[in-house]
Structure 1
Amino acid sequence: MKLVTREQWGARPVQRGLTALPSARGVKVHYVGSRVEPSPTKGCGAHCRAMVRGIQAHHIDGNGWSDIAYNLLVCEHGTVFEGRGKGVLSAANGAGLNSSHYAVCALLGDKGLVEPTDAMLNGLVDAIGYLRNHGAGNEIKGHRDGYSTSCPGDRLYAWVRAGARRPDAPEEKPIKVVVRDGIALWPGRVLEVRDPMMRGEDVEAWQERLARRGWRIDVDGWYGPRSRTVCRSWQRAVGLPVTGVVDRTTWESAWSWRPPVASEPEEPAAP
């Protein structure tokens, strides 16, 4: 990920203290919405930096906010710009909605530059991954989810709804989980943290089984860092190698493992 820091793009100081947000359910994707002119250069440069500065100025001077509303922004070249940054409450999702998701804005408009480039989509995936490494959960939503707005535009929203995948990512074949006598058979796919994040019926079945066994885990069908943490805890508890990877042995143990039964105290020997 190519990250441009606040200092590098010439950010103004934060006007008032920002609120920490150590974790959230996920990330909401936004766009600028007004007219956005395409960059006159092939590489990221002055044009993109000026656009980010203009957004910050509008949010501070026009809206009276403490800073630019978004945690991160992504230009058409795929460069990620630091807005409020990681672990901070955004001001972009709507009243009462900012504490549930971080906010990433694509520098895309409703006129001019309206079609996200492949580089921009890759940059958005990079930005989402960065926030996931700093407290974001697995959800990826559009701004319009839960708030009455056209943001992030139909084109970008369709990409979000399709799974927010990299443009060159191979299509994953659907995984079918077969259940026999109440036991989900090994579906043949190793579950691990990847980019793009693994998802599917097999992930959801494994998560649901761990939840039924009393483990605190989100049953959402996405195998991300939180699922890996639970997997490691499970492996440690049942005496398996602690890898954070759901291989066949780890999968089958979720249905077959039983806690050891305490032995009855022996009767004293007869005198």
Structure 2
Amino acid sequence: MAIDLVTRRDWNARAPRGDYTQLDSTKGVKVHYTGGRVDPAIVSDHDRCVALVRSIQSYHMDGNGWIDIGYSFVACPHRKVFEGRGLHHLPAANGPGLNSGHYAVLGLVGNTGLIEPPDAILHAILDAVQYVRDSGDAGREIKGHRDGYATDCPGAPLYGWVRRGAPRPGEDAEGPTTPPFPGRPLTYPPVTRGQDVRTWQAQMRERGWDLDVDGAYGPASRDVCRRFQRQQGVTDDGIVGPVTWRLAWEAPGG
């Protein structure tokens, strides 16, 4: 599928307040997230995506004092790619001294609300990556913002995908196979019991956590869950829901 590009004119972008710095070539792309709350309603309402991108531009220009939105492109859950600074223009989002190395592509997910990137966002990010390779003289690298810069960006779920090689959804990729989410959250109190608990406990033990594999999700399991969630930068509620379940297999590190 060719890139479904939303031009600056289409999303009614403000004009930049100065001239861009020329960007002739890069090593590739750095992937970002918003770092704030993203309303899950954007998944079913593209107008909300447009409003969000415009608000990000305003924050970057009026709050950060930048000449424009800091990202090169923005990927939304309708598999559309918003033109930010665009091709051959130095981004501002990767960090001081790092912007000349990579284009900056934002996936519209945050640290609360919409945390887990829908497949369409992943497709859109990769559509943007292919676009900057084909037309922007970008190299092959796909990295997270946190690679080389002290930040939680692009969040644990999106960074885990980057670390797995940024595969197209539905395509095989090297890395762990995640069992399907069991369909119920693992919670305490009361104690949750079952094979799904045992499966999660075994995986956490494999990752190096000191945890009995007894099929009973009690206070010890909840404590491990909370510490793991804090490590991964997601809400530490002690509940193994879909995001925490997936991270147990897919998050980088031990």
TM-score for both structures, normalised by structure 2: 0.66
* Structure 2, gaps ≥5 residues long: 176-254
**SS class of match (2:112):** strand
Question: How many angstroms does 1:97 deviate by?
Answer: 0.4
Provide the rounded CA distance (Å) in 2 between the counterparts of 1:10 and 1:34.
23
Question: How many angstroms does 1:95 deviate by?
Answer: 0.3
Judge conservation of contact 2:164–2:173 (CA < 8 Å) in 1. no
171 and 45 in structure 1: CA distance in 2 versus 1, 3 angstrom threshold: closer
Instruction: Summarize the alignment of residues 228-247 of structure 1 with structure 2, pairs less than 5 Å apart.
Output: none
Question: Structure 1, residues 135-184: CA drift from partner, whole Å, max 9, x if none?
Answer: 110111100000000000010000001001111113479xxxxxxxxxxx
Provide the rounded CA distance (Å) in 2 between the counterparts of 1:112 and 1:171.
27
Identity %: 55
Question: Structure 1, residues 223-267: CA drift from partner, whole Å, max 9, x if none?
Answer: xxxxxxxxxxxxxxxxxxxxxxxxxxxxxxxxxxxxxxxxxxxxx
Cross-structure match for 2:4: 2
Provide the rounded CA distance (Å) in 2 between the counterparts of 1:125 and 1:113.
19
Are 1:80 and 2:91 an aligned pair?
no
Cross-structure match for 2:169: 167
Cross-structure match for 2:14: 12
Cross-structure match for 1:28: 30
Cross-structure match for 1:142: 144
Provide the rounded CA distance (Å) in 1 between the counterparts of 2:90 and 2:42.
33
Are 1:56 and 2:45 an aligned pair?
no
How many matched pairs?
172
Amino acid at match of 1:67: D
Are 1:112 and 2:101 an aligned pair?
no
96 and 7 in structure 1: CA distance in 2 versus 1, 3 angstrom threshold: same
Cross-structure match for 1:38: 40
Name the structure, 1 or 2, with higher relative contact order (CA <8 Å, separation 6+): 2
Question: How many angstroms does 1:18 deviate by?
Answer: 0.6
Provide the rounded CA distance (Å) in 2 between the counterparts of 1:41 and 1:101.
28
Judge conservation of contact 1:28–1:142 (CA < 8 Å) in 2. yes
Cross-structure match for 2:191: none
Judge conservation of contact 1:29–1:104 (CA < 8 Å) in 2. yes
Cross-structure match for 1:235: none
Provide the rounded CA distance (Å) in 2 between the counterparts of 1:20 and 1:52.
23
Amino acid at match of 1:81: F
TM-score for both structures, normalised by structure 1: 0.62
63 and 171 in structure 1: CA distance in 2 versus 1, 3 angstrom threshold: closer
* Structure 1, gaps ≥5 residues long: 174-271
Q: What is the root-mean-square deviation in Å for CA atoms of aligned residues?
A: 1.5
